[in-house]
Each structure stands twice: as C-alpha cells, then as structure tokens.
Amino acid sequence: MIPKDNLILIKNIQIYSEDRFIENGYIIMKNKKIIEVGVLSDLENDQDYQIIEVPSGFIAVPGFIDVHIHGVNGADTMDATKEALDTMASALPKEGTTSFLATTITQERKEIEKALINAGEYMKTQADQGKAEVLGIHLEGPFVNAKRAGAQPVHHIIDPNVSFLKEWLALSNHSIKLVTLAPEQPNGLEMVRYLKENGIIASIGHSDATYEQVVEAIEAGANHVTHLFNQMKGLHHREPGVVGAAFLHDELKAEIIADGVHVRPEMVKLAYQQKQREGLILITDSMRAKCLKNGTYDLGGQEVTVKDGKAVLEDGTLAGSILKLGQAFKNILNYTGCSIEDAIQMASVNPAKQLNIYDRKGSIAKGKDADIVILDHNREIFMTICRGEVAFHKEDDIK
Ligand SMILES: [Zn+2]
C-alpha cells in the first residue's frame, strides 16, 4: 500500500475537467500532480487516501492564471524583494489564482533592473507547493507611448530599445515572458520581431497605434493586447485603432479588466461577443492596495488613492485595479451570460496556452500540476490548491 499523505483525494465534487464535465467525480493528487480524474463510482477504494472534504454541490475548476498583476496585500513587484513576491504568492490563492506573471511598471532603469533581478532569483528558489507560482515577468513599459501613459510615469517612458531588452533578459535569468509595448514608437517593430524570435509574448498596450500600425505589428509577431480598451485608441468608425484591430484579428489575444470600472459591463460583453471565449484573457492589473483598507498607496513612485472600489492618481486617472481574479470570473459570467466552461477558458486555459505551458497548467487533467480551485454555490472561492497543497481554505479564513 502507498503510504498515507502521498495520495490526496477530493471526492463528491462536480468537476470541470479538460475534456468533460463530471457530475459526481473525484480527483487524486500525488507529488504536486493530478494523477487521476474520474467518475466517483469508478473510484477504487483500496488506497489509503488523505481526503479533502468538500460540501456537496461545490465545483472544481482549474486554478486561475493572472498574466498581469503588479501587487496585492501591501506588496508590489517593484519592491524588488523576496518578501514582496512571497507576500503576493501567499495572498493570491485567496482569489483563486494559482500562478501569475509578476508585472513591472515604467520606472527608472535601475528600479526596473532591481525588480527583474529579484524576480529571476525568486523563481529559482520559490516554494514548490502551497503558494501561487511565479511563472515569469510581465514587463509593462517603459517602451510605451507617453500619449497613452495612464498610470505609467511619463518621464520614465523611453523608445523601444532592443539592446536594453537583451540586457534585461539576461538580468532576469530569462524570465521575461510578456512585454507590453507601443509598436508605433521608433524601433517598435524591431522589438516585436525580436520578442517573437525569442518566444516572448509581444503585447500592444499603452499604445496610440492606428489600425494599420497594429496590422504591421501583427505581421511582425505581436499576438497579445494589454488591458483591452484601457490606454489605447478606442473604437472609431474611421479609425478602428487597437480595439478595432483586436476585434478583427484572431491572432491577438486580449487581456481585459472585467471589474466594471476599467471597462463597463456592456463593453466587456461587446468584447466577448467579438473575441469569443478563445480571444479574451481575464486579468486583474491589481496593485498593492488590493486586500488592504481604503487609503493612499504607492504605484511606481506615484500616490494612488483607493476609495469606493477604485484606485486613482491625483488627477483622477484610473491606476491599477483592486480587482480579484475570482471576482473577475464571477463578473464575466454576469456581464456576458457565458457558461462556466467559457469563463474557465478565459481565466485558465487561454493564459496557459498563450504562455505555452498548457502541457502542465490551465486545466484539470491527468499529469498536470494540481492547481485547483473549488467554488461554492455562489461561485465564491471555497478552497485553492496550489501544486497539490491547500493554499487557501475559506473555513480557516473565517476562524
Ligand atoms: Zn498594469
């Protein structure tokens, strides 16, 4: 018999597995992986399982993957400390996030470099269970367009510069997986081509590109759009801009902040109708104030005030969000009327495929990392399992 603790069993649960919905199923995990998913009546009871009890009617969905998150619970990627990333990795399971890209912001070169070195180092030694996994870095800026800066500090914005990028890749131990840039800026297309050649996602964002400029960027290898609608040309009938290009080109996967504040619910629905479930990726773009009280916080050296569910700069510009990915999951269901399967596609499958890690994350299937979220009847997070270890349990949280 296999010794206890080695086999972990969740049973009597509805499972949204990779290839089917199971009404009353079970999942067996071992050594951080899912080793079996099936119908409960097929479970062989001859093993000594460690059982995770779940109330009836709850559902299991794959862990959410946030490809755009700056901070949470007082910590930010730009703090450039092990503690900051650890705080993020520990806090995120509470919202159903089991892996993420630590996201930087436009800053002085040395500040960005510190954050890159720190994240690269952190990834080498991060806990392999029980916390969200840092999958890499999302470099947001500084290669963006000052006209669409938003909360990116304008005076630190620079033109795309491939030699900087090469140095940064080395400093980060090659953990930069996604770069948000404005392809219409000088050397922008050169950078897109370089990213494409090196297997890094080139994302159009904080960009004033015209439709034609976006098409050129797609031809050069761009395949992603950073927070659709926010900080880009809107949809105009004589200038489709980044939004129109995103709607028309399936090559582009579009991030969306589905909080009802950065994008109002009707526009989330419009984007969903255009991009369909394959084309959208739910993100939070959240900042350190998430999970903290209303008040004043730092974002890239700027003061951000958080009140009434919004985070704004002094001049009223929307800064990062305080959205939780579990809430975005619920919101997309409400705003669009999509199914749970559709929401899973946007919260877990698409980001995993875009990052080229769908062989190990993004769905509940045999052989994949045991990254699982259990939702209650109201689709609130009840439990989050990160690589086979319970990282959040609502009942513990209440105590
Ligand atoms: Zn951001």
pLDDT of residue 158: 95
Distance 372 CA to ligand 1 centre (A): 26
More confident residue, 287 or 6: 287
Please compute the mean of the pLDDT values over residues 149-161 and round it to a whole number: 91
Contact 350, 278 (CB under 8 A): yes
Distance between Cα 245 and ligand 1 center (Å): 21
Q: State the DSSP code for 318.
A: B
Answer yes or no: is pLDDT of 46 > 80.
no
Q: Are strands 59-62 and 8-16 parallel, antiparallel or unpaired?
A: parallel
140 alpha carbon – ligand 1 mean position (Å): 6
Question: Does 379 have pLDDT greater than 50?
Answer: yes
Estimate to the nearest angstrom the gap between the alpha carbon of 232 and the chain centroid: 20
What does the pLDDT read at residue 390?
A: 95
Q: Which whole number is the average pLDDT over 163-191? A: 98
- CA 179 / ligand 1 centre spacing (Å): 11
Average pLDDT of the chain is 94
Please compute the mean of the pLDDT values over residues 105-132 and round it to a whole number: 94
> pLDDT digits over 180-201, tens only?
999 999 999 999 999 999 999 9
pLDDT of residue 398: 58
Residue 1: per-residue pLDDT? 42
Those residues whose C-beta lies under 8 Å from the C-beta of residue 353, and which sit 6 or more positions away, are 362
Compute, in angstroms, the gap from residue 70 CA to the centroid of ligand 1.
Answer: 6
The two tokens of residue 130 are 């029980």
Query: What pLDDT does residue 2 have?
Result: 45
Q: How far is the CA of 105 from the centre of ligand 1 (A)?
A: 7
Q: Are strands 310-312 and 280-282 parallel, antiparallel or unpaired?
A: unpaired
Confidence of residue 5 (pLDDT cuts 50, 70, 90): low
Say how far apart CA 283 and CA 65 lie, in whole Å. 8
- The predicted-structure confidence for 50-67, as pLDDT tens digits, reads as follows 999 899 999 999 999 999
Å from CA of 339 to ligand 1 middle: 27
Q: What is the mean pLDDT of residues 135-162?
A: 94
Distance from residue 33's CA to the centre of ligand 1 (Å):
31
| pLDDT tens-digit map of 294-316 | 888 888 788 889 888 888 888 88
- Confidence bin at 152 (pLDDT 50/70/90): confident
Catalytic residue numbers read: 285
Q: Report pTM.
A: 0.96
Cβ contact 381:96 at 8 Å: yes
